[in-house]
Structure 1
Amino acid sequence: MNNATVLELFAAITEIDAAHSSERAVEIFQGLLRRYGLHSFLIARLPVPHDRQWHRAILHDGWRSEWFARYKSAGHFFYDPCAAHCRLAAQPFLWHQLPRGGLTPRGRLVMEEAAEFGMKDGICVPIHVPLAGPAVVTAGSDRVEVPPSAMPLIEALCVHMFRKVGLKSKSDNEEGSPLTPRERELLQWSAQGKTTDDISSILGISTNTVESHQRNIREKLDAINVAHAIVKALRRYEIQI
């Protein structure tokens, strides 16, 4: 990035950080996006494609209400090519850069209907958070004006905004010790409704070992029971549903 872009980025991040509320931060961010013709945006984590409760992963819904209602009622999330590409991509991309020949019929329908609702093109910034899985900040409009030189600026702003609305403070993240991979795996199964006996069978360990792990998890997370531990682990992004 050139000096002018760096100064613009620094000023924008400073303004967002100084915002007295998340609503004000969103207003600032939205104003910056409008400079490039981007009038609607969404900030969300990306759960597994078959997750029927995918909408719970939305951190901020700035889509047009009509489009979001259609997107949800039509089950577009399960076929959205942008969401699918974000799970694998490391770099931001414009919607029109998706390989049209590789889209499924349902994927093409998602993009065609988005255009009908005034979302003819847009940008996706994939974000990959350790332990929490993939996420995305995406924005669109009927006419996008994003020159290649602006991509690094928009990417940095989107990543910063995601952290602003989606991640806890440093003190929250440092509360307690991190879970081990085995403890996360075990708690993930608990979050999916599995009992101690179920987990014992799935992982090939004794019920005593499962209960020992659960005690360690509760102690690390300062939780009174498994359900409480699941909530705290989700908030810390140690597991996802």
Structure 2
Amino acid sequence: MEYKDFSKRELAEILDIIQASLACRTETDVIAVTGRIKELVSADMSVCALGETSTGRLLKVANHNWPGEWAGMYTSEELYKDDPVFLFNYESSRPYTWAEAMRRYPEKPYADLMHKASEFRLRYGISSGISSDGPKGSIFSFASDQDRFNPHHLKVLDIVTPHVHLALVRICGIQSRAEVDISVREKEVLGWMKEGKTNWEISVILSISERTVKFHVQNIERKLNAVNKAHAIAIALDSGLVV
């Protein structure tokens, strides 16, 4: 993801959200961060959760302003089992619209659930998550009763999701990753990735080929068990590999 995709105001807020995610230590902290993301993507409501990828069972729900009655029903009645947004989350490694999830799961039980959700103003939305951390995965959802979401909002989620995911994992007390052996060159590449540089730009800065940069990026993602560049940067910041 290139930072030039964003306005100066957006970029400043995104970078501030990343810093706030690094500082999260409580559920209240995470809720505050998701609330800021909500504003950035023009949503009215937001919620995030951490669950078991094998069963879908929710382990932690951090609710900013999701409708309380719906949230209670969703958990107590295990409605996530018929939720196309939730199910699609563990198939996708990128942010997505609810419309995309509904196209993937068009059958009646899933359509019925989305109809129920719309009664609580949860009619349109975008979601994202990370499911590469072993048996635990996250989901972040932002909704409105108006269809105001666009591809630009998905780009915002692509950058911030890995950072707030790690914050959610942290407050749940899940054990941190084992120390990773990153080479000096890989740390250099990571540093420029953090600055939003493309592979080509990094190749020019370091006087190496773009193919070599891509090789280092792939190694970094593999070593950190990251799903993409943004996730790798989040892990590196969270673990102190880069500052």
TM-score, length-normalised on structure 2?
A: 0.59
Cα distance change on mapping 1:8 and 1:107 into 2, 3 Å: same
Find the aligned partners of 1:135 and 1:25 in 2 and give their Cα distance. 13
CA distance in 2, matches of 1:166, 1:150: 23
- Structure-to-structure mapping, 1:195-210, within 5 angstroms: none
CA gap of 1:17–1:130, structure 2 versus 1, over 3 A, is closer
Match of 2:153 in 1: 150
Aligned mate of 1:111, from 105, 114, 132: 114
What does residue range 74-223 of structure 1 map to in structure 2 within 5 Å?
74-100=77-103, 102-167=105-170, 172-173=175-176
1:60 equivalent in structure 2: 62
Deviation of 1:38 (Å): 3.5
Q: So what's the TM-score if we normalise by structure 1?
A: 0.59
Counting aligned pairs with the same residue, the percent is: 15
Find the counterpart in structure 2 of residue 10 from structure 1: 15
CA distance in structure 1 between the aligned counterparts of 2:26 and 2:74, rounded to whole angstroms: 29
Deviation at 1:48, TM superposition (A): 2.9
For the 8 Å contact 1:86–1:134, the answer to whether it is kept is: no
Q: Check the 8 A contact 1:79/1:107 in 2, yes or no.
A: yes
Which position in structure 1 is the counterpart of 2:203?
Answer: none
Contact 2:84 2:105 in 1 (8 A): no
CA contact (8 A) 1:16 1:29 kept: no
Instruction: Give the aligned residue type for 2:43.
Output: G
Which of the two has higher C-alpha Rg? 1
Residue 40 (structure 1) aligned to one of 41, 46, 71: 46
User: Hey, what's the Cα distance between the residues in 1 that align with 2:72 and 2:28?
Assistant: 22
CA distance in 1, matches of 2:140, 2:175: 23
**Structure 2: 5+ residue stretches without partners:** 180-243
- Structure 1 residue 24 and structure 2 residue 29: aligned? yes
- Give the length in aligned residue pairs: 172
What's the CA shift for 1:175?
A: 7.3
In the alignment, which residue of structure 1 is the partner of 2:75? 72
Partner of 2:187: none
Q: State the distance in 2 between where 1:159 and 1:66 align.
A: 29
- Contact persistence 1:95–1:122 (CA under 8 A): yes
**Deviation of 1:102 (Å):** 4.1
Distance 1:59 1:129, change over 3 A: farther
Change (3 A) 1:42 1:28: closer
Q: Any stretches of 5+ residues in structure 1 without a counterpart? A: 177-241
- The DSSP-based 3-state class of the residue aligned with 2:131 is strand
What one-letter code is carried by the residue in structure 1 that aligns with 2:79?
A: H
Moved more, 137-146 or 112-121: 137-146
